[in-house]
């Protein structure tokens, strides 16, 4: 997997360098709201961390197994709707609602994964798109289902409760920032655990050669479904967070194919199948996109998506392992020189 673990000589110093960089970056992130005075910049940072979180969650199934899902928005959408509806109809705090939503997303993930994992390559991708579009179109055209008000394409507003931390509503942006930062760290810790567990080894074996892995007795469906359950649960939590951040949820924003593609894009550009890669991709692309949108959005609509597209094409052609691979090389080279 990572070169730093395999090479034995400079591994020690490479590892300590990694820790130093890690702690420094972490401290910087903790202090970020104190250093940033502009509400807008903080919002961009929140969106960046949010996409990093989604990309890390996506990566757990898609990065490690090597299948491309372009339908992950189904999980963020369903979980978001569950938590918002629970809050509107029963007054249940979204802090609890998001876990119920996550469980819903997980059930959907396993239910979809079971037939999908028999398909490979493009077939898998197309089926994930089809499921996500199916649910989105149904939601957009359904105002009421079993007595629950869904309000179709209009979407649902999260009722305002003022400064109510217990109900996941804050007046400032800082608490939202720390929430998503904590979620990102937890998702990365889970990825770290998956990578080093038996599950991670099985997944990598399946990615290398699924038939071969099955031939030596790896129950590929079982392990892929386990990874899918983790991934869809985490993505679901992200969807609930998104709904709370904007206090609004609708099928297009929370379940559209754009969110799925952007999530996959971040992970692939950064480096799928690694812990840091998806975060790196999100931190490169989200601010670039947001800035392009705010500076040129009026005169040149769509410029940020042209940039995304170009970066994606270049990375797929020249850096198939993502941006993380040259970065690793540089760090190792720096350590060797010492």
- Return residues touching other proteins (CB under 8 A): 66-68, 70, 115, 118-119, 121-123, 125-127, 129-131, 133-134, 137-138, 140-141, 208, 257, 261, 264-265, 268, 300-303, 305-306, 308-313, 316-317, 320
Smallest separation, CB 236 to other proteins (Å): 21
Nearer to other proteins, 168 or 308 (CB): 308
Nearer to other proteins, 140 or 174 (CB): 140
DSSP letter, residue 10:
T
DSSP one-letter string for 81-124: HHHHHHHHHH---HHHHHHHHHHHHHHHHHHHHHHHTTS-THHH
Smallest separation, CB 39 to other proteins (Å): 28
Smallest separation, CB 66 to other proteins (Å): 7
Nearer to other proteins, 28 or 314 (CB): 314
Q: How many CA atoms lie within 13 A of 267 on its CB side?
A: 29
DSSP one-letter string for 132-187: HHHHHHHHHT-SEETTEE--GGG-EEPPP-SSBGGGTB-SSSHHHHHHHHHHHHHH
SS3 272: coil
In terms of Cα–Cα distance, which of 77, 131, 135, 128 is closest to 104? 77
Smallest separation, CB 156 to other proteins (Å): 19
Sign of CA dihedral 40, 46, 47, 52: positive
SS3 67: coil
Nearer to other proteins, 16 or 141 (CB): 141
- Beta strands 148-149; 144-145: pairing state: antiparallel
Nearer to other proteins, 175 or 256 (CB): 256
Nearer to other proteins, 11 or 126 (CB): 126
Smallest separation, CB 1 to other proteins (Å): 15
Longest dimension (CA), the chain: 68
Smallest separation, CB 83 to other proteins (Å): 25
């Amino acid at each position: 997997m990572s070169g730093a673990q395999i090479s034995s000589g400079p591994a020690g110093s490479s590892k300590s360098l990694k820790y130093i960089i890690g702690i420094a970056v972490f401290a910087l992130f903790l202090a970020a709201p104190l250093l940033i005075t502009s509400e807008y910049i903080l919002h961009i940072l929140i969106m960046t961390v949010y996409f990093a979180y989604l990309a890390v969650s996506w990566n757990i199934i898609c990065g490690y197994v090597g299948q491309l899902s372009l339908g992950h928005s189904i999980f963020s959408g369903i979980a978001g709707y569950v938590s918002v509806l629970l809050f509107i109809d029963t007054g249940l705090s979204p802090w609890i609602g998001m876990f119920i939503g996550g469980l819903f997303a997980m059930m959907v993930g396993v239910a979809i994964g079971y037939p999908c994992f028999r398909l490979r390559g493009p077939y898998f991708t197309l089926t994930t798109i089809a499921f996500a579009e199916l649910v989105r179109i149904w939601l957009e055209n359904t105002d009421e289902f079993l007595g629950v008000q869904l309000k179709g394409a209009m979407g649902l507003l999260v009722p305002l409760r003022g400064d109510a931390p217990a109900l996941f509503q804050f007046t400032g942006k800082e608490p939202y920032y720390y929430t998503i930062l904590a979620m990102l760290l937890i998702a990365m810790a889970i990825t770290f655990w998956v990578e080093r567990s038996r599950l991670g080894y099985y997944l990598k074996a399946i990615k290398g050669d699924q038939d071969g892995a099955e031939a030596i007795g790896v129950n590929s469906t079982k392990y892929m479904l386990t990874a899918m359950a983790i991934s869809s649960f985490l993505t679901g939590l992200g969807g609930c967070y998104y709904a709370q951040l904007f206090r609004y949820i609708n099928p297009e924003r929370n379940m559209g194919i754009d969110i799925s593609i952007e999530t996959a894009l971040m992970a692939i550009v950064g480096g799928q199948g690694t812990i840091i890669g998806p975060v790196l991709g999100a931190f490169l692309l989200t601010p670039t996109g947001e800035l392009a949108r705010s500076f040129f959005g009026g005169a040149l609509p769509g410029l940020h998506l042209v940039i995304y597209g170009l970066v994606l094409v270049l990375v797929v052609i020249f850096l198939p392992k993502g941006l993380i691979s040259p970065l690793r090389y540089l760090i190792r080279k720096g350590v060797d020189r010492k």
